Structure 1
Amino acid sequence: MVNPTTTNPISKMKKSKILCLHGALLKEELQIWPSNVLERMDLVFIDAPFRVEDEDFPAFSWIHAQVLSQLDTTQMNIMFNESIAYIEEAMIKLGPFDGVLGMSMGACVAATLPGMQAQGVALTKVQDLQFVMVISGSKLDCLGPEVPKLAENAFSSLIQIPSLHSFGENDFTKLTAIELLDFFLDPFVIFHSGGHEVPELDEKGLKVMKSFLDKVQASFAAPKAIRSLM
C-alpha cells in the first residue's frame, strides 16, 4: 500500500532563483514553456543597462552594436565592464540567485559569468553561481575580433557547474553555440528545429529540461562539502 504522505523529494525542494538577461521580451517568450517547468523556477528579469535610441520601441543592449561595428575596443571594454557591474548590483539588490539565464547577446554574457567569477574578476560580492542557462548564445568572440578584456580568460578553464544550452537548426548562432559546448563539463543540450528563439519544449526537450532542473535542485539539499564536488 502506498503511503499517501510520501512525495517526490524533488518536488519539495525550493525553486531555483534565476536572474534572466534580459527584460520583458524574454519574459514573454519564456511563457511558451509548460507550467510544470516554469513553476520550478523563480525568474527575475532585468533589462540591459544601455538604451538603444534608434528603435521605435524600448530596446536595450549590453554593448551597443555601433561600438562593435566600429571596433571601438576602448568603448567596448567600458560598456562591458559597466554591464557586468550592473548585473552584480542587480544580484545584490534582488538576490541571492542560484543561476543565470540568457537569450541571444544576454546568453553570450551569461555564459562568461561563471568563468569570470571563478577567476575573481567579476561577481566577487555575490554567492557562486550554481548553474547557467544559455539560449541561442555563444562565446563573446562571435561579436568581433576583440573580446572584452574582462572576459578574455573566461573560458581558459573548463566550466564545471551544470549548464543548459538551447539552439535551433535554423539558428544563426548554431555553429558558435555548438563550439561553446566544448567549454562546459557535461552540458545539457536542447537542439530544436526552429531558429533564434526560445524553443517550445517537445517530449525530448522537456526530458532534458527536467533532468537539468533535477540535477541543479538536488544539489541544493546536498551538504556543502558534497555540493562542491557535484
Structure 2
Amino acid sequence: MSEPKPLKMLMMHGYHQSAASYRVKVGGIRKKIKKRCEYVWFDAPHAVPDSEDFGWWFSHPGKYDAIAYTDFDEGFDASIEYIAKVFKEQGPFDGILSFSQGACLAAILCCLKEKGDERFQGFDFAIIGAGYKSRQSQHTQYYEDVKVTIPTVHTIGETDGVIPKEMSHDLLSIFDPDQTKVATHDKGHLIPAAAEAKTILIDFLDEMLKRKSSK
C-alpha cells in the first residue's frame, strides 16, 4: 500500500518575520513531522520599516503591537486580498500552519471560511501557534456570530512574553471545542517541538493524513 500524499500546508509567519526566518523558527517541529507535510512559503506583503522583515498589517503608523486596542489597521485589507490570490494561484491547501500575527490572521481566515467566503474554502484544518483575537476595532466583525467547526490545534506558551496566554485562551471561544485541541508548553513564544505539545501536533497531523487518504 502506497504512503498517503503529504499534507499541503500554507505557512503564515508572524510580524517582523519572513518566509526565510519562519522556516528557521519552525525548523524543530518540521524535523519531527518529517514527511507528513509539504510547505508553501511566502512573505507577508508589507515591509516592516527599517528591517528586512514583513508584517500583515500595522496597529499604528509603521509598527504593530498585538496587545494594543486601536482603530488603525493599515495593510489589513491588502493582506486579505493577497492571501486570496495565493489561494487562487497555489491552492487548495490541506491546512494552515501559522504563528503569532500570522496565526491571528489565520483564525480570521477560519472565520471567513465558516461564514462562507468563497475565497477561503480551500483548506480543511489549521494549526494556530500563539494565536489571539485582533484588537483592531475593525476586526471585531470577524468574531461575531461564528463558531469555527474545522479541526484546529492551538499552541499556547505558558511563559510567552509576546502574546500573553490569556489572549490565546480568549481566541478559543470562537472555535468548536469538539474540533479543537490545545497544546500548552513552557517554551515561550514559539511553536513547540518537544514533550506533550509535540505529541499532540503529530497525532493531529496523522489524523489529518488519515482523513485525506480516505477521501
Aligning the two structures, in what range does the TM-score lie when normalised by the shorter sequence? 0.7 to 0.9
In 2, Cα distance between equivalents of 1:71 and 1:176: 16
Matching residue of 1:215: 207
Any idea what the Cα deviations from partners look like across 1:21-43, whole Å, max 9, x if unmatched? 12111111111126341320111
> SS of the counterpart of 2:147?
coil
In 2, Cα distance between equivalents of 1:169 and 1:70: 22
Q: What TM-score do the two structures reach when normalised by structure 1?
A: 0.78
Residue 132 (1) aligns with residue 126 (2): yes
Tell me the amino acid that sits aligned with residue 114 of structure 2.
Answer: A
Give the deviation of 1:180 after TM superposition: 1.4
* Distance 1:34-1:96 versus aligned 2 partners, 3 A rule: closer
Q: Which runs of 5+ in 1 are unaligned?
A: 1-6, 224-230
Is the contact between residue 91 and residue 122 of structure 2 (CA under 8 Å) also seen in structure 1?
no
Q: For 2:4, which of 6, 13, 27 is the aligned residue?
A: 13
Q: For 1:108, which of 100, 104, 107 is the aligned residue?
A: 104
In 2, Cα distance between equivalents of 1:155 and 1:220: 30
Any idea what the Cα deviations from partners look like across 1:153-207, whole Å, max 9, x if unmatched? 34522111110111211114211111112221231121111111122322x2232
Looking at both structures, which has the greater relative contact order when contacts are Cα pairs under 8 Å and sequence separation is at least 6? 2
CA-based RMSD: 2.3
- Give identity over the alignment, percent: 29
Residue 52 (1) aligns with residue 48 (2): yes
Aligned residues: 201
Q: What TM-score do the two structures reach when normalised by structure 2?
A: 0.83
In 1, Cα distance between equivalents of 2:130 and 2:120: 26
Is the contact between residue 19 and residue 43 of structure 1 (CA under 8 Å) also seen in structure 2?
yes
Q: For 1:32, which of 28, 31, 46 is the aligned residue?
A: 28
> SS of the counterpart of 2:191?
coil
Q: Which runs of 5+ in 2 are unaligned?
A: 14-18
In 2, Cα distance between equivalents of 1:111 and 1:211: 21
